[in-house]
Amino acid sequence: MKMMTPQSEADLAECIAGASGPMWIQGGNTRGCSGSGAVLSTRGLAGLTLYEPGSLTLVVKAGTPVAEVKALLKGENQQLAFEPMDHRVLLGTAGEPTMGGLFAANVSGPRRIQAGAARDFLLGVRFVDGRGQVLRNGGRVMKNVTGYDLVKLMAGAHGTLGVLSEVSLKVLPLAETMTTVAVPNIDLATGVRALCSALGSPFDVTGAAYDPQAQTAYVRLEGFAASVAYRARELIQRLSVFGQVEEVTGSAQLWRDIRDVRDFAGRPGDVWRISVKPTDAIGLIPALGAIRTLCDWGGGLVWALMPEGDDVRAKMTVPGHATLVRATSNTNRAARHHPETAPLAALSAGLREQFDPRGILNPGLMG
């Protein structure tokens, strides 16, 4: 397959303007989703444009490896607070995730419930649309309502409206310490209710997961040491109505594993990511017929390891949406996303038509 690796934004614009067929946009190729046509890699567009720790602001080229950015931020005791998952664990892929890929797919982790999603941290974008035009929207400041928010539109558009060339984002301080409070030996319904209780407390919970295999609910607290200790005590008391509560060690690894759904790695089957109202997970999970499940976001994010080809979307009896994240060979890879209602599908198609009139950017990826 033809591979294009533009070295500048102008190059990128030229590549797209001159394209004659479908282009599959690739950052670090860690989520590996391409069809026939050319591959357009953003890896040539790498590097730091600006970092102002005192303004909590970072601007980088889209092809910059996430690992480089994390290391840079760590040096200033800051972080990507939306805690993006590392797809390599679940998908068994190699490659190096890029900042552009991360925002194009709106990749967020456990802290999404408290800090927000990747899209909430994206302040500005530069991108090349399907016409080959260089466009920008937003900026590098935290509050900006100047014109329409195309920044949000680009986050999670999976490259179907344009290829990101540069992103500016808000970063946050790294917490001094973290701990995890666990409630073992409780069933799904009690587990989700315990998470809801923790999230509805004033104790600023930054992670709330339930593992149906371990029958355990986990709640994470982060911040200054004295504050974390205080809130852990309070939470243990609050959650004691649900079962025996204990503080567990190894928080960093535990939440990395939850973030990356490590438990599903290497196990055969399709992996679905389901977004629902947290308490709806209680009824939904038993109805899925899944091999394994994992609840994050207080129950609002359900990871389901399904038998090959078993389509979760047909089993959704509650509002929300399901996305196929890992497909086995026999599963229809093209239909990854949840179907939209007719008027929303019309708006989405209209937007794709405006931003990519030739339909060449990741065609069909989102519908």
Partner 1 sequence: MEMPSPNAAILARKAELIAQLRRVLPDDAIISDEVETRAYECDALTAYKCPPMLAVLPRSTQEVAAVLHICHRAGVPVVPRGAGTSLAGGALPTADCVILGVARMTEVLETDYENRIIRVQTGRTNLSVSGAVEEEDFFYAPDPSSQLACAIAGNIAMNSGGAHCLKYGVTTNNLLGVTMVLMDGTVIEVGGAHLDAGGLDLLGVICGSEGQLGVVTEATLRILHKPEGARPVLIAFDSNEVAGACVSDIIKAGILPVAIEFMDRPCIEACEAFAKAGYPMCEALLIVEVEGSAAEIAHQLDLIKGIARRHNPVELREAGDAEEAARIWLGRKSAFGAMGQINDYMCLDGTIPVSALPQVLRRIEELSDEYGLKVANVFHAGDGNMHPLILFDANKEGDLETCEAFGAEILKLCVEVGGCLTGEHGVGIEKRDLMLHQYDAVDIEAQLRLKDVFDPKWLLNPAKVFPLSTTSTRRSPSLAAQ
The footprint of partner 1 on residues 236-295 (CB under 8 A) is: 275-280
**Taking the complex as a whole, how short is the minimal distance between the CB of residue 3 and partner 1, in angstroms?**
27
The residue range among 3-11, 35-43, 183-191, 223-231 that interacts with partner 1, by the rule CB under 8 A, is 223-231
> At closest approach, how far in Å is the CB of 21 from partner 1?
23
Q: Does 226 bind partner 1 (CB under 8 A)?
A: yes
Residue 3 or 10: the one with the smaller Cβ distance to partner 1 is: 10
Candidates 11-19, 32-40, 239-247, 336-344: pick the segment binding partner 1 (CB under 8 A).
336-344
Q: Whose Cβ is closer to partner 1: residue 18's or residue 319's? A: 319
* C-alpha 174 chain-centroid distance: 19
Near partner 1 in 37-56, by CB under 8 A? 52-56
Which tokens is 9 given?
Answer: 């934004």
Bridge partners (DSSP) of residue 59 are: 50, 168
| Angle at CA of residue 290, ends 286 and 295, nearest 5° | 70
The CA distance from 61 to 100, in Å, is 8
Residue (of 339, 235, 255) closest to 297 by Cα position: 255
Say how far residue 193 (Cα) sits from the centre of its chain: 24
Convert 210-221 to b/e letters by CB count within 10 Å (16 or more is b).
bbbeebbbbbbb
- The SS3 assignment for 120 reads helix
The CA distances from residue 44 to 36, 49, 211, 269, in Å, are 22, 14, 40, 35
The amino acid occupying position 350 is G
**What tokens appear for 278 in the block?**
């947290």
Considering only 76, 247, 257, 310, the residue that binds partner 1 (CB under 8 A) is 76
- Tell me if 168 sits within 8 A of 124, measured CB to CB: yes
Type of residue found at 261: V
Query: Of 144-203, which residues contact partner 1 (CB under 8 A)?
Result: 144-153, 155-157, 160-161, 172-174, 176, 193, 196, 199-202
To partner 1, the closest distance from the beta carbon of 268 in angstroms equals 26
CB of 6 to partner 1, least distance (A): 19
Closest to partner 1 by CB, 210 or 355 = 355
Any contact of residue 337 with partner 1 (CB under 8 A)? yes
Query: What is the rounded CA–CA span in Å between residue 109 and residue 231?
Result: 22
Output the smallest distance, CB 81 to partner 1, in A: 10
Contacts (CB under 8 A) with partner 1, residues 55-74: 55-57
> 41 vs 168, which CB is nearer to partner 1?
168
Q: At its nearest, how many Å lie between partner 1 and the CB of residue 149?
A: 5
Q: Minimum distance between the CB of residue 197 and partner 1, rounded to whole angstroms?
A: 8
Using CB under 8 A, count the residues that bind partner 1. Answer: 87
Of 31-39, 66-74, 208-216, 343-351, the segment contacting partner 1 by CB under 8 A is 343-351
Rounded to the nearest whole angstrom, what is the least distance from the CB of residue 94 to partner 1 in the complex?
27
Report 112-141 residues binding partner 1 (CB under 8 A): 112-113, 116-117, 119-120, 129, 133-137, 139-141
Q: Give the residue from 321, 313, 317 showing the smallest Cα distance to 284.
A: 317
Residue 87 touches partner 1, criterion: CB under 8 A: no
From CA 110, how far away is CA 208, in angstroms rounded?
7
Say which DSSP state 317 is in. -
- Which residue, 338 or 358, is less far from partner 1 as judged by CB? 338
Rounded CA Rg of the chain: 21
Nearer to partner 1, 152 or 358 (CB): 152
Minimum CB distance to partner 1 smaller for 67 or for 225: 225
Angle 352-355-356 from CA coordinates, rounded to 5°: 70
- Of the CA atoms within 13 Å of residue 37, those in its CB half-sphere come to 21
- The answer to whether residues 120 and 154 touch, using CB atoms and an 8 Å cutoff, is no
